[in-house]
C-alpha cells in the first residue's frame, strides 16, 4: 500500500478491521471447560471470535483452558446453568452436562436438572438476546436401539427408569424444549446428536472406554472389558466433531436438525482394546467385568443427513485418532501435561 496516499491507506486498513469485527462473533459456550467445550473454545478463538466460557467445573477444569486463559478475547465465568444467566452474545453452544456414565450417575438428579433446567435457562437467554443456540444432544436419545444404524427419524428405545435414564431422558426432554421453543417463539435452534467422541483432554479417570483403555494400556494394567466386548460403538475424533459443530451453527437460518454427528465406522469394544494394546505396545491382558445396566448393544450413526445438509463427514480414522490420544495420555501420565 506504499504507493497510496497516507489517508487512503489508513481508510483501507480501518475498513479491513471493521470487516473483521463484523465477522468476529461473541460466543457463549456452556460446559466450555470440559473435554469438547475446551476444544470448541480454542477453535473459536483461533477463528478470531470472542468466547465467553461458562462452567461449574464438575468435570471440567481450568487446565483444559490453559491455552485460552491468556487470550484477551476469552472470558471464563464460574456458573451452574441450572441457575439463570445474563450475558449478551451472538451465539450459544449449550454443552454443559457430564457425559461419562460414571460422572452423570454420580448425582443423577443434578444431571437431569442440568439437562432440563439448564436448557430452559439457556433457551430463555437465547430468546431474550435473539441468539441462535446449539444443543449438544447425544446418541443416547436412541437408548439401546432396535434399528441399525441409527437415523435421526428413529425415535429410540429408552428405559425411563434405569441408571442411564437421568442422562438419556434429560437429553430427550432438552430436545423437546429446544423444538418447542423454536415452534412457540420462532427461535433459531440447532440440535446435534453426538456419538462417542474421544481425544486429548478426556479425563484419565473419566470412566469412558477410550480413556480407560489407553490409561490401562500405558500402565500395563489389565484392560477392563465390560461384558464380553461384542457390544459396538463408533468413535469420532474430537477435531472432526468440532468441525461438525461449526458446520451446524453455520447452517442456514431455520435449519434445526436434529443431526447425527459421529464416525460411522463401527468397532466392537474388544476390537478397540486390541487396537490400543497394539498402538501402545502394552503387555496388558484383557479381563472381563460385569456389563453395567442398560448398556447399549450396538451403536452406529447414519450420517447421511450431516453429509447432505452440512457437507460434513469425519476424516480421522480410529487408529490415527488413537495415536494422538495415546500421545496426550502418555505425556499426562509422565507429568509433561497438566490436568485439573
Q: Does 40 interact with ligand NAD (rule: CB under 6 A)?
A: no
Instruction: Tell me which stretch binds ligand NAD (CB under 6 A): 76-84, 123-131, 181-189, 287-295.
Output: 76-84
Q: Does 209 interact with ligand UDP (rule: CB under 6 A)?
A: yes
| Nearest residue (CB) to ligand NAD, 58 versus 284 | 58
In this chain, which of 81, 131, 177, 300 binds ligand NAD, going by CB under 6 A? 81
| Nearest residue (CB) to ligand UDP, 62 versus 324 | 324
Distance CA 268, CA 256 (A): 32
CB of 22 to ligand NAD, least distance (A): 30
In this chain, which of 26, 82, 224, 304 binds ligand UDP, going by CB under 6 A? 224
Contact between residue 262 and residue 248 where contact means Cβ atoms under 8 Å apart? no
Per CB under 6 A, which of residues 178..217 are in contact with ligand NAD? 194, 196-197
> Which residues have CB under 8 Å from 243's CB, separation 6+?
312
Of these residues, 93, 104, 142, 167, which one is catalytic?
A: 167
Q: Does 174 interact with ligand NAD (rule: CB under 6 A)?
A: no
Distance CA 212, CA 202 (A): 10
Number of residues located near ligand UDP, criterion CB under 6 A: 15
Please report the DSSP string for 143-210 in residue order.
Answer: BS-SSSSBPTT---B--TTSTTHHHHHHHHHHHHHHHHHHHHH---EEEEEE--EE-TT--TTS--HH
Q: Which residues pair with 83 in a beta bridge?
A: none
167 catalytic, yes or no?
A: yes
CB of 174 to ligand NAD, least distance (A): 9
CA 22 to chain centre: 27
Nearest to 53 by CA among 10, 260, 248, 62: 62
| Nearest residue (CB) to ligand UDP, 125 versus 225 | 225
Q: Does 33 interact with ligand NAD (rule: CB under 6 A)?
A: yes
Number of residues located near ligand NAD, criterion CB under 6 A: 28
Nearest to 336 by CA among 229, 221, 200, 210: 200
In this chain, which of 29, 53, 85, 97 binds ligand NAD, going by CB under 6 A? 97
Element spanning 267, H or E: strand 266-268
Torsion angle, alpha carbons of 216, 67, 239, 126, to 10 = 120
Per CB under 6 A, which of residues 99..118 are in contact with ligand NAD? 99, 114, 118
- Give the Cβ contact number of residue 43 at 10 Å: 17
Q: Please give the positions annotated as active site.
A: 167
Binding site for ligand UDP (CB under 6 A): 100-101, 196, 208-209, 212, 224-226, 231, 233, 269, 291-292, 295
Amino acid at each position: 500500500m506504499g504507493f497510496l496516499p497516507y489517508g487512503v491507506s489508513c481508510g483501507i486498513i480501518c475498513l479491513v478491521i471493521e470487516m473483521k469485527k463484523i465477522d468476529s462473533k461473541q460466543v457463549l459456550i456452556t460446559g466450555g471447560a470440559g473435554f469438547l467445550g475446551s476444544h470448541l473454545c480454542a477453535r473459536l478463538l483461533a477463528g478470531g471470535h470472542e468466547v465467553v466460557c461458562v462452567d461449574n467445573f464438575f468435570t471440567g477444569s481450568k487446565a483444559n483452558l490453559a491455552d485460552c486463559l491468556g487470550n484477551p478475547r476469552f472470558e471464563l465465568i464460574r456458573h451452574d446453568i441450572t441457575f439463570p444467566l445474563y450475558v449478551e452474545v451472538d451465539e450459544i453452544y449449550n454443552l454443559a452436562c457430564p457425559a461419562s456414565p460414571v460422572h452423570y450417575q454420580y448425582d443423577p438428579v443434578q444431571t437431569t436438572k442440568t439437562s432440563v433446567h439448564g436448557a430452559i435457562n439457556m433457551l430463555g437467554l437465547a430468546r431474550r438476546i435473539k441468539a441462535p443456540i446449539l444443543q449438544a444432544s447425544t446418541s443416547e436419545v436412541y437408548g439401546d436401539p432396535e434399528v441399525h444404524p441409527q437415523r435421526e427419524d428413529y425415535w429410540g428405545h429408552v428405559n425411563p427408569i434405569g441408571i442411564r435414564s437421568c442422562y438419556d431422558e434429560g437429553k430427550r426432554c432438552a430436545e423437546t424444549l429446544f423444538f418447542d421453543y423454536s415452534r412457540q417463539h420462532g427461535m433459531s435452534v440447532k440440535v446435534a446428536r453426538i456419538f462417542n467422541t474421544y481425544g486429548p483432554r478426556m479425563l484419565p479417570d473419566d470412566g469412558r472406554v477410550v480413556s480407560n483403555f489407553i490409561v490401562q494400556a500405558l500402565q500395563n494394567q489389565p484392560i477392563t472389558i465390560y461384558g464380553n466386548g461384542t457390544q459396538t460403538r463408533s468413535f469420532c475424533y474430537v477435531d472432526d466433531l468440532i468441525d461438525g459443530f461449526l458446520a451446524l451453527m453455520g447452517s442456514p437460518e431455520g435449519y434445526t436438525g436434529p443431526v447425527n454427528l459421529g464416525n460411522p465406522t463401527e468397532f466392537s469394544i474388544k476390537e478397540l482394546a486390541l487396537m490400543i494394546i497394539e498402538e501402545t505396545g502394552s503387555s496388558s491382558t484383557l479381563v472381563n467385568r460385569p456389563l453395567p445396566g442398560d448398556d447399549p448393544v450396538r451403536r452406529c450413526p447414519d450420517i447421511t443427513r450431516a453429509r447432505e445438509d452440512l457437507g460434513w463427514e469425519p476424516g480421522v480414522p480410529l487408529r490415527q485418532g488413537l495415536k494422538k490420544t495415546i500421545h496426550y495420555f502418555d505425556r499426562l501420565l509422565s507429568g509433561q501435561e497438566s490436568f485439573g
